[in-house]
Amino acid sequence: MKMNWTLKKFEALTPYELYDIMWLRNEVFVVEQNCVYQDADYKDQKGWHYMGRNEEGMLMAYVRLLPPGVSYNEPSIGRVLTNPAARGTGTGRILMENAIEQCKQLFGNLPIKIGAQYYLLKFYSSLGFVQTSEIYLEDNIEHIEMVRKFEN
């Protein structure tokens, strides 16, 4: 699947891009995962938004990149998702590989911290993340904290 990737600060998002992001986040995190929670957390305005669109312009993959001090002491990658239509195509792996590189370019060689859904432990481990917490419930879904350090 050919993707066009874009990185934008919150202020640079068009209303249409913001709508696409919020729609897809609600589709995946609220509807698909049956998890009623407040997705809008006032962190979006402090971060960068990395989007992958298919050739028709549909949002297929998304992450939010936050600088140190917003969610954790470290930079973080969050709200990681792929459109259900893109699943099984390798888009999620490409999204995360790109997001890691974008974090490095934005914030330097600092460790990256994530709050990962526990069932994705193997996936994130394959990208160099290491579990750093016990399992905890967030919005009634098992999560763990993980950190990825860059090699010097």
- Residues of the domain holding 77: 4-110
Residue 41 inside a domain? The answer is yes
Residue 134 inside a domain? The answer is no
Residue 92 inside a domain? The answer is yes
Residue 33 inside a domain? The answer is yes
Residue 9 inside a domain? The answer is yes
Position 152 scores a pLDDT of 61
Beta strands in 33-73, from DSSP E residues, in sequence order: 48-53, 59-66
Residue 43 inside a domain? The answer is yes
- Other C-beta atoms lying within 10 Å of the C-beta of residue 84: 12
Task: Indicate the SS3 state at residue 76.
Answer: strand
Q: How many domains does the chain have?
A: 1
Mean pLDDT of 8-24: 97
Mean pLDDT of 15-36: 92
pLDDT 10s digits, 123-141: 999 999 999 999 999 888 8
Residue 91 inside a domain? The answer is yes
* CA dist., res. 5 & res. 102, Å (int): 11
pLDDT 10s digits, 31-79: 988 888 888 899 999 999 999 999 999 999 999 999 999 999 999 999 9
Beta bridge partners, 141, equal 138
Instruction: Report the CATH number at residue 50.
Output: 3.40.630.30
